[in-house]
Amino acid sequence: MRHFPSFLSASIIAVVLLVGGIRTRAQEDTSKPKPAVRQFQPLQGYGDQDANSDQQSAVNLNPDTQPLTGVQIPTIGSPEMRHSYWIPGFQYGNFVRSSTLNQVASSDWNTTSYVAGNLSLLEAWSHSQLSVNYSGGGSFSTDESQGNDYYHQLGLVQVFNGQRWQLSFIDQFTYLPQSQFGFGAASNLATPGVGGPLGPSLPGLQTNYQPNQGIFTSIGPRYSNSITTQVVYAVSPRGSVTLSGSYGILRFVQAGNIDTNDSILSAGYNYALSQKDTIGVLYRFIGYRYIGNPQAINDHAAQLAYGRKITGRLALQLFGGPEVATFRVPLGSITNRISASGGGNLTYALSRSSLSLTYNHGISGGSGQFTGSNADQLQGTINRQLSRVWLGNVTFGFARNRNLGLSNPSQVSQTYDSWFIGGGLSRPLGRTANFTFGYAAYLQNSRLPVCAAGTCGTSYLQHQISLGFQWHTRPLVLR
């Protein structure tokens, strides 16, 4: 907990300085007359939303230019930007949950409320663009094991474009009272910023580049941060090289968990077969280190990749290959192992619905319970416009974490299987507010008993009902 204020303060100060610098430049630029506000065209996605119209034809999308071997999840494109703007807002969410994760304990229910301020910012210059989404505030719970705490989520992407190169800085920070995996399912608390069509769409980091949190019974609040730098250089009209470096942390406030650091370096080559299809080859190194534990893992992966993109309709990425891991502390008599790694990302959109899926298999940091684990993680979301004002969604996820091995052969290997599934409804309340209602279930099975809230068992089940309200100002145009 002692490191949390510095990370949080640095993130908030960065946002404040960026916004302040932008406003200062806007005030200093007096060489050109400023047009009246009424002369601005409507901002993308702002105004009356008619769900009966073809959403994709109404939105002009710019093609996704992320490299196949890059660190971010590919998208079907980004909305055309007419103005730079920022939007402050307010958010309230309430979760009514069964109070225990263990079926043999009491079945009492509790409630947790989240009160947060939101900020979204989108600023573009001639050769660069800054996108920020932030939500932060507090949580107040009747669950004595959770109590009152903080709530913070930040996503920031700064991109610089040259004639043949692109430089990106990406930061993802969270401070949550529980695992990020499945947090806020079927509610508007799942992502930072004001949300909706006005919130800048920030392609998330792939699963490989984030600290793994796929175990629900990791104890108490935790904060994680992943900061990444990526360079893409075009070596020919069809080929490009990708280089990236990333550093991530996972820290727990309470004792009983394993704090993790990870350092990642990757290099890839992309070759465009056509306007829609791309192939690539990737090498990635991940070094896992554990606070207060002598174990260290060096993981090397070589993968082939294939991607297909159709702007406004499809974004597909598949990758796979061998993975070699070495261990500072031998697992029994084993100091290295060779296995397979791979995964994929898919986004598919129609006029009234969309589907997104992510899957990854390989060695991970251990989710706060292991010094390294063999992990599988799947997440998906389905959105459907049900009527002119009502939007429905279904979200689900599965994570399996198996420890890589034990130094003492007499010990028994532990495995966690974690699921969540939820569904919700949302509708706008005018032009600046939104209401959501949802339900989610969280289930976890383990090979060995896990003790939580004073009881022990091999199964974990929690029900959650959520209500949410979100409000934001009209867009405040910067230029």
Q: Decide if 242 contacts 207 (C-beta within 8 A).
A: no
What does the DSSP assignment read for 293-358? ---EEEEEEEEEEEEEEETTTEEEEEEEEEEEEEEEEEETTEEEEEEEEEEEEEEEE-SSEEEEEE
Q: Which residues have a Cβ under 8 Å from the Cβ of 36 and sit 6 or more positions away?
A: none
| Residue-level pLDDT, tens digit, the chain, 479 residues | 444 444 444 444 444 444 444 444 444 444 444 333 333 333 333 333 343 444 444 358 889 999 999 999 999 998 888 889 999 999 999 999 986 554 444 458 999 999 999 999 999 999 999 999 999 999 999 987 778 999 999 999 999 999 999 999 999 999 999 999 999 998 989 899 998 888 888 899 999 999 999 999 887 899 999 999 999 999 999 999 999 999 999 999 988 899 999 999 999 999 999 999 999 999 999 999 999 999 999 999 999 999 999 999 999 999 999 999 999 999 888 899 999 999 999 999 999 999 999 999 999 999 999 999 999 999 999 999 999 999 999 999 999 999 987 655 545 688 999 999 999 999 999 999 999 999 999 999 998 887 765 567 888 899 999 999 999 999 999 98
Task: Spell out the residues 6+ positions from residue 320 whose beta carbon is closer than 8 angstroms to its own.
Answer: 303, 304, 340, 341, 342, 343
pTM for this entry: 0.85
Distances (CA, A) of 388 to 48, 111, 436: 10, 32, 15
The amino acid present at 449, given as its one-letter code, is P
The residues pairing with 93 across neighbouring beta strands, listed in sequence order, are 114, 468
Measure the CA–CA gap between 414 and 403, rounded to whole angstroms.
6
Nearest one of 278, 275, 298, 277 to 286, comparing CA atoms: 298
CA separation for the pair 320, 302 (Å, rounded): 8
